[in-house]
Structure 1
């Protein structure tokens, strides 16, 4: 009987893990403050995203630049909240960098947060309550 209960709970846990990945928001990779080439061509439009096979219409910096259907990043949130301001962290004031798009781009427990310049940086979160 204990084996049946363990099997049931294992199935329920697996179900919730699968559902959490299915329902995660899909995020296009970002590039920070860069000037895109003027000779770009696009094969899709973000206002009319008709991409298939789990891809999303995102802007690419590398050739071929422009908007193309690419595999987006899953926005799986790590625990904790982004801090307001960390005066002792120089990255908090970095206005020309782009270090992450989603929490999973950051190592360990660090989260991908927006700094005062709207750049994305990896910082340690406030602990969850």
Structure 2
């Protein structure tokens, strides 16, 4: 039997994931800095899940980058020591990020950070 979720149920699920967890996102900044392109974002319940999503998204994006940026991102994806340092930093409450720049000057930023929010009920 399929379960039907209301919009309120979905908001409650996302809100609980963000209340004490992690946020991972990928953003592209063109050289003119007049625009921002969101390439994806996701809440995560643990540092490991945040990095897993971030690395998965980076792997998807790496295949679409030009030959100057793709090797930078692929090297980061294969660097297990960098992954362990990022995991450790997230566990200590620090933000982690990696940026690569393609041949056109577009900067791709992959980041994860801890979030601790307070739910504001009945304010909207």
Give the structure-2-normalised TM-score.
0.24
Answer 1 or 2: which has greater strand percent: 2
**CA radius of gyration, larger in:** 1
Relative contact order: is structure 1 or structure 2 higher (C-alpha 8 Å, sep ≥ 6)? 2
